[in-house]
Amino acid sequence: MIKEKIDKLLNESVKKCGFGEQTLTISFSSRPEICDFQCNGCFALAKSQGKNPFEIATLIVENIEKNDMFVFSVAKPAFINVVLTDKALANEANLYLADERGGVDKHEKSEKVLIDYGGANVAKALHVGHLRSPITGESLKRLYKFMGDEVISDVHLGDWGLQMGLTELQLFEDGKLNFYFDGKGEEPEITLDMLNEAYPKASKRKKEDEEFNKRAEEWTLKIQSKEEPYYAIYKKMREASVKQIEKHYKELGASFDYWYGESDASDYIDKAIDIITDKGLAYYSNGALVVDVAEEGENIPLPKKEGEEQRYKNPMPPALIKKQNGASLYATTDIATILMRNESDKPDRIEYIVDGRQGLHFTQVFRVCKKAGISPKEQQLIHIGFGTLNGSDGKPFKTRSGDTIKLEDIINLLIEKAGEKLKSNGVEFDRELALQIGVAAMKFGDLSNFIGKDYVFDLDKFLSFEGKTGPYLQYTAVRINSVLAKANEEGGEIKMYSDDERNIVKAIFKLQSAYESCYKEKSLNGLCIASYDLASAFSTFYNNHRILGEQNDEKRKSYISLLKLVKKELALALNVLAIDIPKKM
C-alpha cells in the first residue's frame, strides 16, 4: 500500500544518514490542503541522536532518493510533509484497478478465529436487542477473512436455559402436550405461534408466581437431563423456533458455519466441572457450586453501615457454575462451550459479539477457563460488547405502547419504508429490493457508530438516500453500474485531469487503511465513514464531469476506468459491511 512505499523511501534515507535502525512512519496529513501525508517522527529521532529536530528533518529529506512520485519537504518545527505527484496518484489508481483486492494488503500471519454472534434464544421471539450482534458479527467475520484470518462463525443459540422449561410447562398447562403424557390423541405439531403465545405468558407468570417458577426450574432440569418426554418435546420446540431464527438471520444477511447452541455443549459440562473441581477451584456456597474469580484490586470492602449488607468496591462475585438443584447456568454452558471448541477447532482467539451489559458474565467465564486451563494461556478470549439501541428519548428503544419491538416488525417496517422511498424515486415496489435497501439502511446506521456506544435507532434518518447512509452508498454503486452498462468501450489508463480525480484516489487511500484500523478496533465505523467519503468524492466528480459524453478519447477512457476502480473499492467495502448492491434504485 502507498504508506509502506513512502515509509520505505524515508527509512532508506534514515539509514543513509547514519541513524542506524531507527525508523520513521508517516500518517495521513492533518492539513490535507498542504500535503497528503506527514511524518512527525523527527522530534523523537533528534532527541535520541542529541541533535536539532529541524536539521535532522532537513538532512533526511535531502537524502531521499530522487523520484518523480513524491515531493518531500520540511515544515517547521520539524515535520516532513509528503505530496503525491499526479504520476504517483495515477500509478496507484491503475495498480488498484488491476488488483482483485483493490490494493489492500492481507496480514502476513493468519489467525484462526472463532466468532460467536447471533445468539438468539430459542422459544423467545427475536427483538430489537438482537440486531447488533448479527450485524456486527457478520461484518467482523468478513473483515477478518478479508485480512487473511481463518474464521469460523457459530450462532450459539440460547437453547439450554430456563425459558425452555417455562415454555414447555406453560404448553403443558394449556393442555397442548397431553399426547406426550397420556398417549391419547395425535401427536401435536409444535408451532411457532404456540411458542409465541406460551413464552410471554410463562415469563409473566414467573415474576408473579414463585410456585410456577420453581416448577419451571424442575422442568428445565428434566430437559437438561434429557429425560423423556421432556427432552423430545424440547427438541420439537427448538426445531420450530430455529426455523424462524434462520429466516430472520437470512433476511439480515448473517450466515453461520455452525448452528450450534448451548445444548451442544451439554456433553462437555460434566467434563468441564471435573476439570475445575480437580484443580480445587470450585466449592459449594449455599448449595450452589461456585468458583472464585476475583483478582487483586477487586472486592474491596467498603465501610459497613449499621444493619446494611457488606458492600464492595470493584465487586467481582464468584462464578456460579451449578445451581442448588443441579441445573447448569449460562456460565456453565459458556465454559463447556469453550472446552468443546478447544477440543475441536482450537482457535487462536474466540470473540463474542454480545451486549456490553454482559461484561461481568464474560469476565467470570474467561477467568474460570484460564484458571482451570480449559483455555490455553496463549488463546485470546474477547468479549466485544456493544451498546444499546435507544429511542429518541435516550432510553432503550420501545414501541409506543412500551413493549420491546420484535425483529419481525422491524423488518416489515424497513421493507415498508424502503418501499415508499423507492416509489418516490419512481421504482416499482419489489419486496426483495425493499428488503435489501431497508436492511442496508439499518446496518449502516448501526455500523457507523462505534461498537461500544449506545445510539438512537432512527429508521427515517437511516433510510435517507442522501447523507451518510447505507442507501446512499448503494445508490452510488447503482449509478456507477448504470453508467458502465451504457459505456460501449473498455476503459483506458487512469490519469489525473483535475482535483476531482485526485480526491477520489486520496479517498481510496483512506478506505484502504480503514480495514486495518477497524481490524484493530474491532469496530466498523471507520470503514463506514471512509466508504461514505469515497462515495461523496465520486459524486463530486460525477456532478462536475460528463463521462460517456466526454469528447477526448483518452480522457473518456480514463474516466471509465476510474468508475470501475470506484466500483471495485466500494464493492469490496460493502461486502465487508455485508450490504448488498441492488440491481436498481
Pick between residue 158 and residue 445 the one whose CB is nearest to ligand ARG: 158
Report the candidate in 317, 348, 404, 450 with the shortest Cα–Cα distance to residue 110. 348
Pick between residue 354 and residue 507 the one whose CB is nearest to ligand ARG: 354
To ligand ARG, the closest distance from the beta carbon of 120 in angstroms equals 7
To ligand ARG, the closest distance from the beta carbon of 438 in angstroms equals 24
Pick between residue 121 and residue 448 the one whose CB is nearest to ligand ARG: 121
Can you give the binding site for ligand ARG, defined by CB under 6 A? Answer: 116, 119, 121, 156, 158, 334, 352, 354
| DSSP codes of every residue in 395-447 | SB---TTSPPPBHHHHHHHHHHHHHHHHHHTTPPP-HHHHHHHHHHHHHHHHH
Cα atoms found within 13 Å of the Cα of residue 127, Cβ hemisphere only:
16
| DSSP codes of every residue in 293-330 | ---TTSSEEPPPPTTPPP-EES--PPEEEE-TTS---H
To ligand ARG, the closest distance from the beta carbon of 343 in angstroms equals 16
CA distance 579 to 474: 8
Pick between residue 1 and residue 382 the one whose CB is nearest to ligand ARG: 382
To ligand ARG, the closest distance from the beta carbon of 266 in angstroms equals 14
To ligand ARG, the closest distance from the beta carbon of 116 in angstroms equals 5
To ligand ARG, the closest distance from the beta carbon of 442 in angstroms equals 19
CA distance 340 to 158: 16
CA distance 209 to 169: 13
Q: Tell me the one-letter amino acid at 527.
A: L
CB 124 within 8 A of CB 118: no
Pick between residue 158 and residue 318 the one whose CB is nearest to ligand ARG: 158
To ligand ARG, the closest distance from the beta carbon of 158 in angstroms equals 3
Pick between residue 133 and residue 448 the one whose CB is nearest to ligand ARG: 133
- Per DSSP (E only), the strands in 452-574 are 455-456
To ligand ARG, the closest distance from the beta carbon of 75 in angstroms equals 50
CA 169 to chain centre: 36
Pick between residue 334 and residue 446 the one whose CB is nearest to ligand ARG: 334
Angle at 299 between CA 298 and CA 301, to 5 degrees: 130
Pick between residue 121 and residue 332 the one whose CB is nearest to ligand ARG: 121
C-alpha cell at 60: 533526511
Residues of the chain by 3-state class (helix, strand, coil), percent to 5: 50, 10, 35
| Helices then strands, each counted (H, E), the chain | 20, 15
Pick between residue 116 and residue 446 the one whose CB is nearest to ligand ARG: 116
Cα atoms found within 13 Å of the Cα of residue 234, Cβ hemisphere only:
23
To ligand ARG, the closest distance from the beta carbon of 219 in angstroms equals 19
